[in-house]
Amino acid sequence: MTSRRHFIYGSVLSAGTVFSSNSSNSKGGFKFTANIPKRYKAYEIGDQTGPESLRLVERDVVMPKDQQVLIRVEATSINARDHGLISNRFPVPRGRRPSDRIPLSEGAGTVIAVGDNVKNISIGDRVTACHFSSWVKGPWDPKQSYIGDIGNNMDGWLAELALMPSYALVKLPQAVSSETACTFVSSGVTAWHALFEVAQIRPGQIVLSLGTGGVSSFGVQLAKLSGAKVIVTSSSDKKIKDMINKGADIGINYKTNPDWGQEIIKLTDGNGADIVLENVGRRTLDQSLIGCAVNGFVIMIGTERLPDNLPKMPGFYMKNITIKAISNASVRMLDEMVKAYAINGLSSIISKRFRFKDAADAFRYQLTHKKIGKVIINHDNNKDKSI
């Protein structure tokens, strides 16, 4: 994705249309490529006090520079990290972001202009982008990966147009809609990373996925795709029923079964879960370890604040459990996941859709914990808000 391509040079004309040249050494002979407005609407994070501080503004269109593309955004999705970023509670880096930062790390759309040194991405391609934009492949490196964190220290997707680095992009095949693709970037590919890269899931294994949110819903889909048996947890019997309808095999209400780790052992003939997607954090880690199988994996994804009493780590040594934390995923992993969903005809689990003009309501709904799967924003305001 980091290879080079000839420059497609653009200039915004008074009529609000971009003309461009295919010549790498000429800025004179323009030809029509796409209709691009001179201005576009975007949300900024403002005072960072929550959804109420989001402000809808108009900005001048900035044409892509070296290794950049301009994308007409079609759909975006909200994650827990986005709430932290609009509320000044996201820890890396510490402190407030600029008030004009555009939020959201997940989005998808169509390329309408490309800059210099862009290869394998063309005008008209449908794309999404890894939110750690500089983590293209290889192992996790926090210093490198946080250089360009979309929606955090660079502008995100909550706008009509988005300027993105070309090396972070993954092309979308016809079989993967923008609604589905926009949910992959944070939740989806994190589950992919956990199951396929870390745990190397195999058919017949048992997977425990905590909760019913984005990572958990993808955990169910991907584990079932691999021929595994899936257990989910929730405090809501209705949500458990919904997750079973979406493919989970077993659901455990952790409120009515506070010792749910032992319940997992019982329900798996004494074996436990081979892979645990620990989507909460250290507050639930002890129960996850109790419910984990001998030689199993507990993959730390959730980052709740530390509990008053730190975990006692039952069974960690005796069962030789591997505990590994992960941070999202690379562009390579995202590309693999997109291909897997296309080949298998899968769509992400969507709880509710909102219109672009109702973005603040989408954030508020996501906080109600009513959702199963993902909350998305359709950037075409002509589409009705629907459940």
Q: Average pLDDT, stretch 159-167?
A: 97
Comparing CA positions, the residue from 116, 120, 121, 43 lying closest to residue 82 is 43
Using pLDDT thresholds of 50, 70 and 90, give the confidence band for residue 5. very low
- Looking at the fold, whether 48 and 172 belong to one and the same domain comes out as yes
In a domain, 15, yes or no: yes
- Looking at the fold, whether 315 and 356 belong to one and the same domain comes out as no
Using pLDDT thresholds of 50, 70 and 90, give the confidence band for residue 13. very low
Q: How many CB atoms lie within 10 A of CB 27?
A: 12
Cis peptide leading into residue 93 (ω within 30°): yes
In a domain, 330, yes or no: no
Whole-number mean pLDDT of the chain? 88
- Looking at the fold, whether 13 and 86 belong to one and the same domain comes out as yes
* More confidently predicted of 69 and 303: 69
Write down the pLDDT at residue 33: 52
CA distance 106 to 24: 32
In a domain, 240, yes or no: yes
Q: Which stretches within the chain are classed as H helix?
A: 80-86, 142-145, 178-181, 189-192, 214-225, 237-245, 260-267, 285-290, 331-344, 359-366
- Looking at the fold, whether 176 and 203 belong to one and the same domain comes out as no
Using pLDDT thresholds of 50, 70 and 90, give the confidence band for residue 29. very low
Q: Would you tell me the crossing angle of helices 214-225 and 331-344 to the nearest 10 degrees?
A: 60
Write down the pLDDT at residue 283: 93
Give the CATH number, domain containing residue 290.
3.40.50.720
- The amino acid at 134: S
| Number of domains, the chain | 2
Using pLDDT thresholds of 50, 70 and 90, give the confidence band for residue 383. low
Backbone angles phi, psi at 118, to 5 degrees: -115, 125
Listed range (11-25, 61-75, 197-211, 251-265) with the worst mean pLDDT: 11-25
* 44 pLDDT above the threshold of 70: yes
Listed range (60-64, 125-129, 370-374) with the worst mean pLDDT: 370-374
Name residue, tokens 């992993």.
333
Q: Give pLDDT tens digits for 209-237.
A: 999 999 999 999 999 999 999 999 999 99
CA distance 376 to 77: 4
Q: How many CB atoms lie within 10 A of CB 38?
A: 14
- Looking at the fold, whether 27 and 97 belong to one and the same domain comes out as yes
* 386 pLDDT above the threshold of 80: no
* 4 pLDDT above the threshold of 90: no
- Looking at the fold, whether 78 and 151 belong to one and the same domain comes out as yes
Q: Assess contact for 207 and 223: CB atoms under 8 A.
A: yes
Write down the pLDDT at residue 126: 98
- Looking at the fold, whether 172 and 217 belong to one and the same domain comes out as no
Dihedral (Cα; 59, 64, 67, 68), 10-degree rounding: 40
* 330 pLDDT above the threshold of 60: yes
Give the CATH number, domain containing residue 147.
3.90.180.10
Q: How many CB atoms lie within 10 A of CB 289?
A: 23
Distance of CA 202 to the CA centre of its chain: 24
CA distance 109 to 70: 10
Q: Average pLDDT, stretch 185-192?
A: 95
* More confidently predicted of 139 and 385: 139
The winner for highest mean pLDDT among 92-101, 302-311, 333-342 is: 333-342
- The amino acid at 343: I
Write down the pLDDT at residue 381: 56
In a domain, 335, yes or no: no
In a domain, 68, yes or no: yes
In a domain, 342, yes or no: no
In a domain, 383, yes or no: no
- Looking at the fold, whether 168 and 306 belong to one and the same domain comes out as no
Token representation of residue 298: 């507990």
In a domain, 333, yes or no: no
Write down the pLDDT at residue 75: 98
* 355 pLDDT above the threshold of 70: yes
Write down the pLDDT at residue 26: 27
Q: Assess contact for 240 and 220: CB atoms under 8 A.
A: no
- Looking at the fold, whether 90 and 166 belong to one and the same domain comes out as yes
* 30 pLDDT above the threshold of 80: no
* More confidently predicted of 12 and 376: 376
* 302 pLDDT above the threshold of 90: no
The DSSP code sequence of 76-93 is EE--HHHHHHHTT---SS
- Looking at the fold, whether 32 and 102 belong to one and the same domain comes out as yes
CA distance 370 to 351: 9
- Looking at the fold, whether 124 and 241 belong to one and the same domain comes out as no
- Looking at the fold, whether 316 and 359 belong to one and the same domain comes out as no
CA distance 84 to 48: 9
Q: Give pLDDT tens digits for 80-137.
A: 899 999 999 887 878 889 999 999 999 999 999 999 999 889 999 999 999 999 999 9
Using pLDDT thresholds of 50, 70 and 90, give the confidence band for residue 308. confident
pTM for this prediction: 0.88
Range of the domain at 63: 9-183+348-378
